[in-house]
Structure 1
Amino acid sequence: MSHDPMAEIRASFFVECEELLETLHDALAVLDEGTHDDETINIIFRAVHSIKGGAGAFGLDDLVAFAHQFETVLDELRGGRLQVAPNVTRLFFQGADMLQDHVRAAQADEPPPDGSDEVLSALAALTGDMPASEEEVDFAPAMLSFDFGSDEGLAPEEAVAGTWQMEFTPHPTFYASGNDPLLLLRSLATLGDIDVRCLIPDDLALSIDHAEDSRLSWQIDLTTSAERAEIEEIFEFVSDLCALEIRSADAIVDNFFAEDPIPDEPPLEHAPPAIQISEDVPPTIVDIAPPQASAQNVDKTSDKAAEKTNPTVRVDLERIDRLVNLVGELVINQAMLAQSVALAGVAEDTAVQNGLEEFMILTRDIQDSVMMIRAQPVKPLFQRMARIVREASGAVGKQVKLRTEGETTEVDKTVIERLADPLTHMIRNAIDHGLETAEQRLAAGKSPEGTVVLSARHSSGRVLIEISDDGAGINRDRVRATAIERKLIAADSVLSDNEIDNLIFLPGFSTAKQVSALSGRGVGMDVVQSAITALGGRIKISSNPGQGSQFSISLPLTLAVLDGMVVRVADQTLVIPLSAIIETATLTPAAIKQVGAHSQLLLIRGDLVPLIDLGPRLGFRPASQRPTGAIVILVQKEDGVRSALIVDAIMEQRQVVIKGLDQNYGPITGVAAATILGDGQIALILDPAGLTDRQTDRSQVSDLSLAG
């Protein structure tokens, strides 16, 4: 198997791009809220500049060109020549979205995305300029004081405290990769008082044929209180595209980024005199990461940065998946070993039992650690939804703002990846159907701008994601009429408000009067429910007319391992997720209350809850053969609804490895997955919410002891 270092470096660059794009969107969100400062604007500029610099190193010309033009407009904002306003922020968000599209197109070796020119033109219009064509050559100093006649070297004795003296000479590749010295010099100017002298050869030719020749160099005096790391950071992503010499006020000279001359580069006939390095003090070599290295801009010479930044290692996801699978096998083998020791009759408090207990604890710690490796915050997913909100609101002409909560909530990476499509459908549905137009909202006494709230939090060993809006809520009369019209329900059906709300999940259901770019084809919410169910999750709706709607999605934290209670029903072994269990109790005849021919309730502490006998419910035995001394397990769904499950016996509490059934059998009502027990036996993992779902087909529960 061949090993391509450049492919790994290129892949690492795109990972860094995702982090930079995340930083960019965070800073733009602060800008949009009006709580920004100068550093926020600098963060926005540096993120785009870093992406451009790295892309230039890999010859990604389309990405470089877009980032360069975007960066030019951002520089106007940073220099105070462009003021922050809602229309400016909106265009910057569009630019960031298009930059993200360019990055993904470059990563997939696809053509550049459509619409780049329109976005660039809109951005350029903010400053009254159009993007410069490739034939234009502009040597205007623009806002910097250049002395074009000076060719004198820097005098070390003229240095003062807090002054850095630099000589900067770009290589030809510097310009070919889309970089601009002016932007670098402007960045330096933000650090303090700057004096720049451009050294121009006598035979400099100002013509198109020589436009990319590197004949200019700059001498710079910078008086600043900034640290060395801040100066180095400005030149970080052109490290291999230029030669740079720095001298500090105490005559210690750092010569970094200096390279062997490029063979094809013509010698400078009138090159400026080189800075003489003091022989008394050896030069300090500063290791600056090249473009493909960490975009976190960590200064290895700065103790302060080292204290704030934790070192990270990038690992291929396939390796982590393999590790997760191996841990699953370890859990199974640990269970097999424990069962073998129990069958052998080994006494308690022996070396074998004590060693086995320590092995069980160690296995749990390893499993928890591996799961933490796969866990990721939902923040990148929420940022993708922010773009969906901008695009969907623009498509329907509504004013919509997204508010996110709990972005640091961590979920298994696989869950996050498979949540993108369901959340996209739900947010588009909220904007298109839930939120009113500005005129309708004003008439109802609301703000003309609608709000969509996307939140995430941990609850009872699961993750709860909620999408809510402050719109008109679900029009239940219209939903019912539409369902009857589309023959999804009978005209004489008697449905509760909750059952009417859940009609929107039926395939083919849509209340849109005409097909649009967002809805109207009857495909969407049924796909959402299928996707959530495939993840072992559930979705719940609550709606208040005139106030809005809320969709709650409950998902497992991981798709690999869970804590469960092993129970026996008839001759079958089952597993009930421990996170759903409230308590257990012995079933007594006096606590059973009969309701109708087939429904029973359990009276427990003054409350009546539906009673479900798992034996007949799952087809393991007839309802008439319920064993004496049966046990009830009280379970609760995320919405607080409780029910009682009848089992024959409780075996033990155990950590089990989840094995999906969907690929081989498809979804099974009431069954979430399966697992392998210590003796090699297959056991079903139950889904208590599915067992108590009132939407279950009545043909499946004809002999089920469930309250109607």
Structure 2
Amino acid sequence: MTDLRTAFFEECEELLETLSDGLASLEEGADDSETVNSIFRAVHSIKGSAGAFHLNALAEFSHIFENVLDLLREGKLSADEDLMPLLYAAGDHLSYLVEAANGGVEVEPDRAAALVADLRRTANVEGSATEEEDPDTSAEDVAAIGAFQPINLDLGLPDLGSIDTGEAPAPTGPPRYTIRFAPKDELFETGHDPVLIFRALRALGPVEATADLTEVPAFSEIEWDRPYISWTLTLQTEAGRDGIEGVFDFVSDLCDLEIVPDLPPSTAQAAEPPAGGGETPDEDGPGNVDTGDAGTAAAAPTTAAAAPSAPSAAKPAAKKPEGKAARDTIRVELERVDRLVNIVGELVISEAMLRQAMSDSAMSAHGPAANAMGQLRQLSGELQESVMAIRAQPVRGLFQRMSRIVREVTRETGKNARIVTEGEATEVDKTVIERLVDPLTHMIRNAIDHGLEKPEQREAAGKKALGTVTLSAAHRSGRVIIELRDDGAGINRPKVRELAISKGLIAAGDDLSDAEIDNLLFAPGFSTSEKVSNLSGRGVGMDVVRSEIQALGGRVSIASEWGKGTVFSISLPLTLAVLEGMIVEVAGEKIVVPTTTLRETVRASEAAMHCLGDSERVLSMRDGLVPIVDLGESLGFRGRVSDFSDQSLLLIETDTGQRTALAVDRVYDQREVVIKGLEQNYRQVPGIAAATILGDGRIALIADTDQFTSTGPGTAAASVSASGDIFDDFSDFGV
């Protein structure tokens, strides 16, 4: 059951994604039947499988939700501006229930009471046969999502049992149906099991099944990948033909299916068919035979939807149904992928060590060994890229979660806002996506709570009352750029400056640029809210954003224009396993400087340097002065260097435009290195982001250039000195 439950929640993620995409299409005006059917099937599938796992709150809310969607399918409701907010709210709550069930969290008693009441009221607007809300039902019962509460209606009609109609009495019990089911090859190839389908039918009512073995050949002639058995079933149910079709929805094109209602004895003039599905009289005619075309049928409410496909050994490749461009996929635990990534990383390191050993032994650069080494290098690079691609996932799921956050925040703030997403197909490392949830949540809350104005203020400023938050993703220069834009009022820099002075973050006489004022928003404890609310005011949020993004090897920057809005830009590596870096040497140790912030290199003997005071030096560039930081001194490898003439200067620049020149003893070359984290194996080291293993087997530290740029000269060195003999502890590792 644990494996099936895991498969169910994995499938729920896909179904919720389908639901979100469908609702977005509806809002954009795509009211075609297939869009509505896809939404209905997603909710119906969640309901059926949730019931199999006794997730009652999830199943019952899905049932209420699908009542509204059913009216939408039938054209009795329209996806207008009145209905769409309700559908979005129901979709959000369905996602919440799935998350709660997956985490074992109990639903808040009154969380959904109003939503359930709105859904039931909407479902009964057109006089549908869906259940009415029992006025005696408690709020707690409704919030548990509403157990089905039928009520009796007294219409004041006479007792029909006392009226003699002159006809034979109608047969008692639910209607009876005969079902003929013959699987095709593709049904088993896609992992479906008839037994699970029969169990789902049994949930609708009493069912009897008879297997037809007439097509089974002799044992020596059996082809093990072909189905020979068909079934005839008799089912008594009140669910009707639609309910039966719903069970077969996922396999309707993978089998031959007939559903024939058995006529009552007074009409058919025959006895009831025997168990196993006797034939109905010829008078029934072909018009009553359903061929299984379930174009608008609901998805199967069975555990079959959640059952994982079982691989079959030693059989030919599965055939794809004609007219479908299906993609073969397989679900793999992330831990296995991580182990594979680590092994490939070790392979790349071993290849570099072998190449270094060949170079040290003065082997011929054109011999057989060198040619084989070149081929190994190419193959290991391709293998590395392929493995990294396995971890890559589109950001669509992340953006959909942010859409839900936008709707929740607008309800709490009373502001009107919509979210527009761009570049949803952009692929990012799965770990990056997971760790971006909290930072993006903080940023979106701030964008709506602080950035967007109230509707009346927007209209007074000549804007639309509906604010827009745009979330986009794109690949640029080997990195992923995620931008969050709003069309609000922008950053009130005078107010930010005043608050920073009052909190002691800056001095009253400090002359700050616009970019430096904007960056004050990332200071711990800084908040522009005048009162504490559920969304803001506690000074926690934007500093968490920066720290989380920096932990991912990324950077965040702000650009704002007063009266027009603000743009937050997040720059992230494509993967957390490989880094492009420049190999440099300081005090006899090799350091890797990431090339993402590197702008140019300059020989100190040819540079225009100036002294400030007794010790600090600056580099005169084309557009100003840049502070010089001695990398060896800052990391504690050596003392202060008085003469920089023999050193090289690496000019680094952050997204906010802050620049620093790192002084190093020697520059080697640029190469890709495999990142090895220090925090898990050692502890966080000031000025160091991670480590790697070079071709000669030695450990090289990867510099955190943002710390040198943001803290200024000497600060990193002071942090290292204060932390004790950090680098003495690395002596056993060759550092």
TM-score category of the 2 structures, normalised to the smaller one: 0.7 to 0.9
Opposite residue 566 of structure 1, the aligned amino acid is I
Between the aligned residues of both structures, percent identity stands at 47
CA distance in 2, matches of 1:699, 1:638: 21
Decide whether the 8 Å contact of 1:452 with 1:467 is kept in 2. Answer: yes
Match of 2:3 among 1, 8, 19: 8
In the alignment, structure 1 residue 121 sits paired with structure 2 residue 117: yes
Number of equivalenced pairs = 600
Match of 1:246 among 245, 257, 264: 257
Unaligned runs of at least 5 residues, structure 2: 133-146, 154-169, 181-196, 207-233, 261-271, 283-290, 294-299, 310-317, 719-735
Decide whether the 8 Å contact of 2:558 with 2:656 is kept in 1. Answer: no
CA distances 1:337-385 after superposition (whole Å, capped 9, x unpaired): 2222222222211222222222122111111111101111111111111
CA distance in 1, matches of 2:498, 2:524: 16
Counterpart for residue 354 of structure 1? 371
Relative to structure 2, which stretch is displaced further, 681-690 or 42-51? Answer: 681-690
Match of 1:274 among 262, 276, 279: 279
CA distance in 1, matches of 2:679, 2:199: 58
Opposite residue 68 of structure 2, the aligned amino acid is V
Counterpart for residue 286 of structure 2? none
Decide whether the 8 Å contact of 1:174 with 1:238 is kept in 2. Answer: no
- Closer, same or farther: CA 580–172 of 1 in aligned 2, 3 Å: closer
CA distance in 1, matches of 2:205, 2:576: 45
Decide whether the 8 Å contact of 2:491 with 2:562 is kept in 1. Answer: yes
CA distance in 2, matches of 1:336, 1:366: 18
- Closer, same or farther: CA 13–154 of 1 in aligned 2, 3 Å: closer
CA distances 1:492-513 after superposition (whole Å, capped 9, x unpaired): 3332222221112122111211
Opposite residue 511 of structure 1, the aligned amino acid is T
CA distance in 2, matches of 1:464, 1:48: 34
Under a length normalisation based on structure 2, what TM-score does the superposition of the two structures give? 0.73
Counterpart for residue 394 of structure 1? 411
CA distance in 2, matches of 1:395, 1:219: 44
Decide whether the 8 Å contact of 1:376 with 1:411 is kept in 2. Answer: yes
Match of 1:55 among 26, 50, 55: 50
Unaligned runs of at least 5 residues, structure 1: 1-5, 140-147, 156-169, 180-200, 202-212, 221-230, 248-253, 256-266, 278-283, 703-708
Decide whether the 8 Å contact of 1:466 with 1:552 is kept in 2. Answer: yes
CA distance in 2, matches of 1:454, 1:217: 44
Counterpart for residue 236 of structure 1? 248
CA distances 1:213-262 after superposition (whole Å, capped 9, x unpaired): 94558679xxxxxxxxxx9985436879xxx9735xxxxxx99xxxxxxx
Opposite residue 29 of structure 2, the aligned amino acid is G
SS at match of 1:692: helix
Counterpart for residue 475 of structure 1? 492
CA distance in 2, matches of 1:464, 1:372: 18
In the alignment, structure 1 residue 64 sits paired with structure 2 residue 48: no
CA RMSD of superposed structures (Å)? 4.0
Counterpart for residue 305 of structure 2? 291
CA distance in 1, matches of 2:276, 2:152: 22
Counterpart for residue 600 of structure 1? 618
**1:82-481 aligned within 5 A:** 82-112=77-107, 114=109, 115-128=111-124, 131-132=131-132, 134=148, 136=150, 174=201, 176=203, 214-215=236-237, 234-236=246-248, 246-247=257-258, 273-274=278-279, 290-293=304-307, 302-305=321-324, 308-481=325-498
CA distance in 1, matches of 2:479, 2:177: 69
Opposite residue 107 of structure 1, the aligned amino acid is N
Counterpart for residue 222 of structure 2? none
SS at match of 1:508: coil
Match of 1:74 among 69, 74, 95: 69
Decide whether the 8 Å contact of 2:426 with 2:475 is kept in 1. Answer: yes
CA distance in 2, matches of 1:418, 1:612: 32
Counterpart for residue 677 of structure 2? 660
SS at match of 2:570: strand
CA distances 1:376-401 after superposition (whole Å, capped 9, x unpaired): 11111111111111001110100011
Q: CA deviation at 1:420?
A: 0.5
- Closer, same or farther: CA 521–319 of 1 in aligned 2, 3 Å: same
CA distance in 2, matches of 1:404, 1:178: 46
Decide whether the 8 Å contact of 2:607 with 2:619 is kept in 1. Answer: no
- Closer, same or farther: CA 84–65 of 1 in aligned 2, 3 Å: same
- Closer, same or farther: CA 325–556 of 1 in aligned 2, 3 Å: same
Q: CA deviation at 1:34?
A: 2.5
- Closer, same or farther: CA 627–311 of 1 in aligned 2, 3 Å: same
CA distance in 2, matches of 1:81, 1:285: 25
- Closer, same or farther: CA 548–78 of 1 in aligned 2, 3 Å: same
CA distance in 2, matches of 1:40, 1:178: 31
CA distance in 1, matches of 2:599, 2:57: 58
**1:581-620 aligned within 5 A:** 581-584=598-601, 586-589=603-606, 591-592=608-609, 598-603=616-621, 611-620=628-637
- Closer, same or farther: CA 467–269 of 1 in aligned 2, 3 Å: same
CA distances 1:663-702 after superposition (whole Å, capped 9, x unpaired): 5666555432111223332211123344333x54764589
Counterpart for residue 516 of structure 1? 533
Opposite residue 56 of structure 1, the aligned amino acid is G
CA distances 1:58-90 after superposition (whole Å, capped 9, x unpaired): 333332211111111101011110122222111
Q: CA deviation at 1:99?
A: 1.1
**1:650-689 aligned within 5 A:** 650-663=667-680, 668=685, 670-689=687-706
SS at match of 1:34: coil
CA distance in 2, matches of 1:469, 1:700: 36
- Closer, same or farther: CA 684–590 of 1 in aligned 2, 3 Å: closer
Q: CA deviation at 1:525?
A: 1.2
- Closer, same or farther: CA 495–550 of 1 in aligned 2, 3 Å: same
CA distance in 2, matches of 1:321, 1:508: 36
Match of 1:26 among 21, 36, 51: 21
Under a length normalisation based on structure 1, what TM-score does the superposition of the two structures give? 0.75
Decide whether the 8 Å contact of 2:583 with 2:668 is kept in 1. Answer: yes
CA distance in 2, matches of 1:610, 1:544: 29
